[in-house]
Amino acid sequence: MWYLAVAAGSFRRYATYRVATVAGVFTNTVFGFIVAFTYLALWHERPHLGGYDQAQALAFVWTGQALLASTGLMGGGLDELQERIRSGDIAVDLYRPADLQLWWLAADLGRAGLQLIGRGVAPMVVGALAFPLALPGDPLTWGGFLLSVLLGVVVGFALRYLVALASFWLLDGAGLALISGLACMFFSGMVLPLRVFPGALGEVAQLLPWAAVLQVPADVLVGARSGGAVLRGLVFQAAWGGALLALGRLVQAAATRKVVVHGG
Amino acid sequence: MWVRSALAYRASFLMMAFGNFAANALDFVAIMLMFSRIDALGGFSLPEVAFLYGTSGVSLGLTDLLLGSIEGLGRRVRDGTLDVLLLRPAPVFAQVAADRFALRRLGRLTQAVLVLGWSLPRIPVDWTVGRALMVPLMAVCGAAIFAAVFTAGAAFQFWAQDAAEVQNSFTYGGNAMLQYPPTVFARELVRGVTFLVPLAFVNWLPALRLLGRPDPLGLPGWVDFLGPVVAALMCAGAGLAWRLGLRSYRSTGS
């Protein structure tokens, strides 16, 4: 399985950016503190807002910071693919005897794995030391959480892959990537948990694919989903992941028909 | 030149400008969503929080417009392209700041100005000429303070190369913090941004004075007016750090 080798290579590649990882941990921790204090004030004003108690809300904040880098909530990870499309190097990739989408999925999973360990664990530990967090004690919930994170990473990848493919038509995809990143921040629960959104907005937001990236894994971890609801959450994520990857294949097929290789 | 190059990909430029506007607006949307569930946060009403949000955002927006490119310094140190700038007969600082000047950053500033404008008639302030003058003064001093942080952060990149994100936690992180009332945060944190990295002078202290609220640290009243002094000291310190950093710069050798 050479896709496994691609994933391992990507993992090692991101592992070399040690200073950047430490800097990222620092930033995630600082933002974690700021958001945690605003949530404390918010839950002080309205206890049990969105069905979370204070410890759950705080755990939600730090889960968001821990998953920010690995799920690619703010974009990134596929900049290189976007650049290869813009410059035309993508023509070389299409000649390779590997599937383009699976290749980049493998690379993204490797990146996400490293960033979950490198940029996820440390902020969570600091958060747990500084605030009373509602974290589960049983390994089963942690297992469900990790599975949910994996599916969240796949959905995040599928979305970013579609954005990257848009470069075939837009040439400079930076603007679209920025807007897509914002949509992801807002509708994933990173800005505010989706259950706290008022009325219909909250209900609709929980059905959109972005909810699969952060809201579902975080709910599994803080215990807002348990038993059958965990399973329903995983099915929801898998369904969006499958649908978006399939859509990615369709767009990829349309895009590769469009590629005209210039000579030279 | 960078303005023209940005306009070359028109669709992308429009999306970038909108995105920058929206990126900043997202924080305010979060605040509005919060206030759809509550009446006061840390004892502050929505217009008062909007005032804090607007003043901090305008300051950071001004700095970002003029110096935003400076965070790319680490990349230039890493790949050695800083050498090119050293050969040109213009100050390196000005060159790095003007590098990839991005007109789209107006989006951030515009959004903050709009929120500030919305909040001004709604906050409970008995406006006099002196009080009205405090608002633009806050914006300018705040921008100078943020500029000093940007510059010091960039100077740090001469050594740390890969650590641009640390700078972000002080600039954008500081901005995120200043958007909320100081009463929301733990006292140690408020002390940190008053005495250690004096971001509290960007808007917290003068805004508390305008709104007629006591500051949570119980500092003497005249401290609220130290903004210009703090800004000048910080800029001098940042300038010194920049010189030291530039002098210690060794090219990549590749």
- ipTM for the whole complex: 0.87
pLDDT digits (tens, 9 = 90+) for A74-104: 777 788 888 888 787 888 887 777 888 998 9
Half-sphere exposure of B125 (CA within 13 A, CB side): 23
Interface residues of chain A, partner chain B, Cβ below 8 Å: 17-20, 22-24, 26-27, 30-31, 33-35, 37-38, 40-42, 45-46, 49, 170-176, 178-179, 182, 185-186, 191-192, 196-198
Question: Minimal Cα distance from A197: which residue of B?
Answer: B33
Among candidates A177, A156, A185, which has minimal Cα distance to A83? A177
pLDDT digits (tens, 9 = 90+) for A5-26: 888 888 888 888 788 888 889 9
Q: What pLDDT is attached to residue A262?
A: 55
B139, B57 Cβ separation under 8 angstroms? no
Residue A264 pLDDT greater than 50, yes or no: no
**Alpha-carbon B236 to chain mean position:** 17
Cα dihedral: A105, A108, A112, A113 (round 10): 70
CA separation for the pair A148, A220 (Å, rounded):
8
Q: What pLDDT is attached to residue B253?
A: 57
Taking CB atoms and an 8 Å cutoff, what residues of chain B touch A48? none
Q: Which range has the top average pLDDT, A4-18, A161-175, B50-64?
A: B50-64
Residue A152 pLDDT greater than 80, yes or no: yes
Q: What pLDDT is attached to residue B145?
A: 93
Residue A202 pLDDT greater than 60, yes or no: yes
Whether A45 sits inside 8 A of B20 (CB atoms) is: no
CA separation for the pair B145, B142 (Å, rounded):
5
Residue B114 pLDDT greater than 50, yes or no: yes
Give the largest Cα separation in chain A, rounded. Answer: 66
Name the minimum distance, in Å, from the CA of A197 to any CA of chain B.
Answer: 7
More confident residue, B153 or A175: B153
Residue A229 pLDDT greater than 80, yes or no: yes
Residue B241 pLDDT greater than 60, yes or no: yes
Whether B26 sits inside 8 A of A198 (CB atoms) is: no
B22, A182 Cβ separation under 8 angstroms? yes
DSSP letters spanning B173-223: HHHHHHTS-GGGS-HHHHHIIIIIS-GGGTTHHHHHHHHT---TT---GGG
Whether B162 sits inside 8 A of A173 (CB atoms) is: no
Whether B9 sits inside 8 A of A34 (CB atoms) is: no
Name the minimum distance, in Å, from the CA of A96 to any CA of chain B.
Answer: 29
Among candidates A79, A97, A83, A107, which has minimal Cα distance to A8? A107
A49-53, A256-260, B168-172: the lowest-pLDDT one: A256-260
Q: What pLDDT is attached to residue B102?
A: 65
Q: What pLDDT is attached to residue B20?
A: 75
Whether B161 sits inside 8 A of A19 (CB atoms) is: yes
Name the minimum distance, in Å, from the CA of A218 to any CA of chain B.
Answer: 18
Q: Which range has the top average pLDDT, A14-23, A29-38, B123-132, B162-171?
A: A29-38
Axis-axis angle for helices B164-178, B46-67 (nearest 10) = 150
Chain mean pLDDT for chain B: 84
pLDDT digits (tens, 9 = 90+) for B21-33: 777 788 889 899 9
What number of other Cβ atoms are within 10 A of residue B69's Cβ? 20
User: Residue A236: which pLDDT band, with cuts at 50, 70 and 90?
Assistant: very high
The SS3 assignment for A20 reads helix
Question: Cβ-count burial of A110 within 10 angstroms (0-12 exposed, 13-18 middle, 19+ buried)?
Answer: buried
